[in-house]
Structure 1
Amino acid sequence: MPRSRLFPLALALPWLACSPDSPSGGFTPSPNTPGSPSNPQTPTRAEIAPAAGTEWFREAVFYEVFVRSFQDSNGDGKGDLPGLISRLDYLNDGDPNTTQDLGVDVLWLMPVFDSPSYHGYDVVDYERIEPDYGTVADFERLCDEAHRRGMRVILDFVINHSGVDHPWFVESASSPTSAKRDWYQWRQQDPGWKQPWSQFSNTPTWHARSGAYYYGVFWGGMPDLNLQNAQLRAEVKRLASVWLERGADGFRLDAARYLIETGAGSGQADTPETHAFWKEFSAYVRQVKPDAVLVGENWSTTPIIARYYGSTQQVPGGDELPLNFNFPLSEQIIASLNASNAAPIAAKLVEMASAYPAGISDAPFLSNHDTVRVATQLGGNTGRMASAAALLLTLPGAPFLYYGEEVGMANGTTNNDEAKRTPMPWDTTAGGGFSTATPWFGFAPGRTAGANVAAQTNVTSSLLSRYRALIRARKSSEALSRGGLKVFTPTTGVQGALSFVRTLGDERVLVMHNLTDSNVSVGPVAVSGSSSEVLFTDPNVSNLSGTPSGWQANLPPRATGIWRIKP
């Protein structure tokens, strides 16, 4: 959703603020573990279990698409579904032996339902495709073409709220005795609740209309649905079935923390009733389409996010939401890259190992439509962007890429959400390869200086080629795709390198990242085995050598090495 207009600055721009769950240091290092020459203190160790389930999404690479900005097919300056279909071979051509496609497995479409706004988060018809984007037939053809290439498609399903012009709300607001009055929350007097994401917020959440007040936590144009109403819950499930039958493979769930409110403050987020609904909805989706995925947007601290997986006793990987975006890890990755210090990432991995249920699948990402783009957050530094790609694609879980991230696409120059969602830079022509008309919004800076697909496609040292190679390396290893993790890097002090081992069954993959602008010696780290096989290394990374105390390698600035350790 368009967060920067709705959230305090510190949440819209998370790197400007100290995260509430930033690591505090205090983790007790394990004794008798080999030290790291880059910092001789004994490293900490965290063990994250491999994914318990075997569903496709637990080893998939996701790609977030804003359809309006990806490819225009009809010359109106706006991207559409036929345009996206025409670019599918760029994302995945269906042939695992080729190397010119990106190699992603899943497309997440930001809202494509009928909406009066450019962003689509104020839906007015959940069964109709936004006319700017095409038709239901276009969507079904997109799913068919994606499936033919081995890709899947998930939809942004916005059920915390609707648009103020949705017929449900129009009918609800028409009379206190309306049959749909209880599909939204109404009060005769303003209860005075404020937005719950900051104790300092003074923004009201109840809005006047026709002599009464309705609840809309984000703003008056998006009234919250009352999912305590059984009829509405049944309708939401029916709508989910409609889109699954039309070819969707699951849903990304917007504002999942704020679904059911029971009072002011703490009663506006993370309520037991919200968790109960997600368990109910998840069970329904599993019944309709057993392998469909649900991805929760729960922008909060690690312990709170962990609860949205639910119980793992009956459903491997959790009976609530099987994937949840890892906002705290994203913040620590960017902070660590800018500070050339791997310790905050190591600390977050340690915390995740403790807080998350065993066997769940994480959903790491670098940036998305609600945050300033990662290239801008990293100051356009090519080395940091290279490290960001390597980190994202070697950590546990199902990684999410934001469209254009793979070519170093920067944020736009305006201070609004549109600047985070600018047109895809395919080339340097006037329309950028995106449209034959003037694009609906201006391109981000950097397109003509190399941040475009055409300039990077056949350049082995480009960021795009790096993403392609790292995705291929990830797919070549079950341990990298869905294995567990043990981290060797200390969680305190300044640590120039992040090292960990990914494990699944008998397979062990050692990963080393240099997050500094200097040469770094990493190791020795203890991983059992007698030889190694290169899965990916940057130029000038030394051969991995084994010593009596473990494996070690020398990494040039911002370099990564990935090796399969053999018995």
Structure 2
Amino acid sequence: MPPPRSLRFLPALTLLACAPQAPSTGTPSERPPVELAPPAGDDWYRHAVFYEVFVRSFQDSNGDGKGDLPGLISRLDYLNDGDPSTTTDLGVDALWLMPVFDSPSYHGYDVMDYERIDPDYGTLEDFERLCAEAHRRGMRVILDLVVNHSSSQHPWFVESASSPTSAKRDWYLWSNTDPGWSPPWDLFAKGATWYERNGAYYYGVFWSGMPDLNLKTPAVREEVKRIASFWLGKGADGFRLDAARYLIETSGGLSGQADTPETHAFWKELAAHVRSVKPDAVLVGENWTTTPTIATYYGSTAQVPGGDELPLNFNFPLAEELLKAARAGDAANVTVKLAEMRSHYPAGVADAPFLTNHDQVRVATQLGGKAGDLATAASLLLTLPGSPFLYYGEEVGMANGTTNNDEAKRTPMAWNASAGAGFTTGTPWFSFSPGSEHTHVAAQVSTPGSLLSRYRELIRVRHASRALERGGLKLLTPTLGRAPTLAFLRGVGDERVLVVHNLTDAALTAGPFELEGDTSEVLFADPSVGSLLRSGGGWSVTLPGHSTGIWRLR
């Protein structure tokens, strides 16, 4: 088994914490306002709400304790029932399936057959049925495509390792001696990246069981494009791209193992191919690094609106600050990250904000299960521009498991308080998270003040407003000093929406905000949020602790 994926990136977390901030000039009153342009184009993925699913942990259909594709199909109405008039579904627009290809591991990031569904999850026909049922409900489906490496049990690698004269020898990276490279995320580490096999050494940046594919080899690049075409033809609507920074190595060291020009060139090549096969398909990059580097993965916007490389990239630096803000009651660093995005992101690209994913300790655990902090985190995520991603169970406050391995971040979904939590009639593949007997879907689905109800309502409000769903952002909170409230204006066309969050425990008055408009329409307001009042040319509002107000200005 590979080491926990989270451990591979611990140094990157340090980099995020120490990331240089965007330079600023002039006094606060002289600095230009922080504004983010609306995403260019009207592609579905530039304003969709995505839901990340670990199939093994979502719903078991046959009692073997492992979630599967038929089980996921049976729960699609929970995610989106296809009827805009109902309010009982979550309302997400797209599903991201963590790896579902045949693999020797539970997590699937070491692929053994790129064209076969893992038998634990079902069949190719099950996948096609999932896509058809999701599409019927208005949802898209994207697949985790892992092309930085394969499993060491993949027939390609077995053949490559068999002989220096193998026809697939150059499908992987081989050396007669151990080059002794350190991992690119920690150049002071002594961890191995080259491993001996049959008298030679192969490169595997993450683990010996996951040898890196050699994408300098034209035949490998063509095979990756063929595989992408295969799944697009089966109904997939795009791909999440694992370890996107580490694709093509040119030498040891950070500059030779991460973010190489050759890596960018391949993503442009793959993106052009995907657009040629399915023009509205999306590619989402996992680039766990600083804002300036993430910005480079959009590529050029000269010919392709939104970028000719990866049109969505996970915003790891912002995710870290969103959780810090919810925990500390201070959005100051969120405003700094928004300013940093303004300085580095190409105009018109779509952001991909999130709170946590399968490699991180869950939101509820990081925030200590505090209802106010969890409500704040949800509100921040779902009112920002771009395409927000939710991690399964996040919407009900699901906590981490009790162990220190990655399985604890991917525990089975709790649907009700029964012995199998509604997930399975058998023995679950891994233990449920602590508190699952009361933190489950059934306990919250009909409760107006629940976290689940908050997610559902905010997603609906987002979809009901073009400004929230597709608009840009103008920051109203200063980027200097403590920020107990966070306020911004979302806008597109002639629609303008004011969003105000109180991140603290105490009631606060926010404003005055000097904005045009004589009247306001409430789109969302927590209980006891005051009326938005206009006085002396500015709008002000009083909000109780951990509350949000959203108004359309007219």
TM-score when normalising by structure 2: 0.97
Q: 1:47 aligns with which of 35, 52, 56?
A: 35
Cα 1:24–1:315, aligned 2, differ >3 Å: closer, same or farther?
closer
1:374 matched to 2:363? The reply is: yes
1:324 aligns with 2:313: yes
RMSD between aligned residues: 1.6
Q: Per the alignment, in what secondary structure is the counterpart of residue 486 of structure 2? A: strand
Q: Which residue of 2 aligns with 1:305?
A: 294
Separation in 1, partners of 2:16, 2:304? 35
Structure 2 counterpart SS, 1:317 = coil
Return the alpha-carbon distance in structure 2 between the equivalents of residues 2 and 487 of structure 1.
43
Matches within 5 A, 1:435-474: 435-449=424-438, 451-474=439-462
Structure 1 counterpart of 2:410: 421
8 Å CA contact retained: 1:28, 1:44: no
Are the equivalent residues in 1 in contact too, given 2:214–2:248 (CA < 8 A)?
yes
Give the letter aligned to residue 412 of structure 2. P
Q: In 2, distance between residues paired with 1:511 and 1:317?
A: 25
Structure 1 residue 409: Cα displacement: 0.3
**Aligned partner letter, 2:546:** R
Within-5 A mapping of 1:18-97: 19-21=17-19, 23=21, 28=26, 30-31=28-29, 45-97=33-85
**Separation in 1, partners of 2:503, 2:4:** 30
SS of alignment partner, residue 339 of structure 2:
helix
Q: Give the corresponding residue for 2:539.
A: 551
Aligned ranges 1:390-405 → 2 under 5 Å: 390-405=379-394
Indicate conservation of the 8 Å contact 1:45/1:489, yes or no.
no
The answer on whether the counterparts of 1:44 and 1:487 sit within 8 Å (CA) in structure 2 is: no
CA displacement 1:349-384 (0-9 Å, x = unmatched): 011011100000000000000000011111111100
Q: List, as ranges, runs of 4+ consecutive aligned residues in structure 1 with deviation greater than 3 Å.
A: 1-6, 8-12, 22-30
**Does residue 1:535 correspond to 2:547, yes or no?**
no
Structure 2: which amino acid aligns with 1:181?
R
AA partner of residue 426 (structure 1)? W
Measure how far apart 1:202 and its partner are: 1.7
Tell me if 1:314 matches 2:312.
Answer: no
1:514·1:520 contact (CA, 8 Å) conserved in 2? yes
For 1:24 and 1:378, the matched residues in 2 are separated by 28
Question: Which residue matches 1:406?
Answer: 395
The yes-or-no answer on 1:127 pairing with 2:104 is: no
- Name stretches of at least 5 consecutive residues in structure 1 with no aligned partner: 33-42
Contact 2:22 2:339 in 1 (8 A): no
The residue that corresponds to 1:336 in the other structure is 325
Change (3 A) 1:390 1:29: farther
Counterpart residue type for residue 328 of structure 1: P
Equivalent residues, number = 553
Partner of 2:268: 279
User: Residue type matched to 1:4 in 2?
Assistant: P
Contact kept, 8 Å, 2:173 with 2:214, in 1: the verdict is: yes
Q: Are residue 105 (structure 1) and residue 103 (structure 2) matched?
A: no
Q: Is the 8 A contact 2:39 2:348 kept in 1?
A: yes
Instruction: State whether residues 2 and 207 of structure 2, in contact with CA within 8 Å, keep that contact through their aligned partners in structure 1.
Output: no
Seen in structure 2, the aligned counterparts of structure 1 residues 237 and 24 have a Cα distance that, compared at 3 Å, is: closer
What is the rounded CA distance, in whole Å, between the counterparts of 1:56 and 1:253 in structure 2?
Answer: 18
Using CA pairs below 8 Å that are at least 6 residues apart, which structure has the higher relative contact order?
Answer: 1
Distance 2:265 2:106 in 1: 32
Q: Deviations over 1:444-494 (max 9, x none)?
A: 012123x10000000000000000000000001111011100111122321
Structure-1 separation of matches of 2:483 and 2:67: 44
Take 1:81 and 1:44, find their aligned partners in 2: how far apart are those partners?
A: 50
Q: Which residue of 2 aligns with 1:38?
A: none
Do the aligned partners of residues 155 and 8 (structure 1) sit closer, same or farther apart at CA in structure 2, a change above 3 Å counting? Answer: closer
Give the whole-Å Cα distance in 2 for the aligned partners of 1:313 and 1:123: 36
Paired with 2:507 and 2:4, the residues of 1 have a C-alpha distance of 39
Q: How far off its partner does 1:27 sit?
A: 6.2
Identity of matched residues, %:
68
Amino acid at match of 2:550: I
Give the whole-Å Cα distance in 2 for the aligned partners of 1:27 and 1:339: 28
2:485 corresponds to 1:487: no
| 1:202-241 mapped onto 2 (5 Å cutoff) | 202-241=190-229
Deviations 1:381-408 (A, max 9, x none): 1100000000000001000000000000
SS at match of 2:201: strand
Aligned pairs for 1:125-164 within 5 A: 125-164=113-152
Per-residue Cα deviation, 1:267-300 (whole angstroms, up to 9, x for no partner)? 0000000000000100000000000000000000
Contact 1:60 1:105 (C-alpha < 8 Å) held by counterparts: yes
| Aligned counterpart, 2:4 | 4
Q: Judging changes above 3 Å, is the alpha-carbon distance between structure 1 residues 29 and 65 closer, same or farther for their aligned structure 2 residues?
A: farther
Task: Write the distance in 2 (CA, Å) between the matches of 1:316 and 1:367.
Answer: 28
Please report the TM-score for the alignment, with normalisation by the length of structure 1.
Answer: 0.95
Q: Does 1:560 align with 2:548?
A: yes
Q: Which residue of 1 aligns with 2:334?
A: 345
Counterpart in 1 of 2:509? 521
Residues 22 and 328 of structure 1, relative CA distance in 2, 3 Å threshold? farther
Task: Specify the code of the residue in structure 1 equivalent to 2:4.
Answer: S
1:531-551 C-alpha deviation (Å, 9 max, x unpaired)? 111111100000111123321
Matched, 1:188 2:179: no
Secondary structure, counterpart of 2:4 in structure 1 = helix
Q: Quick check: 1:25–1:491 contact (8 Å CA) kept in 2? A: no
CA distance, structure 2, for counterparts of residue 172 and residue 429 of structure 1: 49
SS of 1:511 mapped into structure 2: strand
2:55 touches 2:68 (CA, 8 Å); kept in 1?
yes
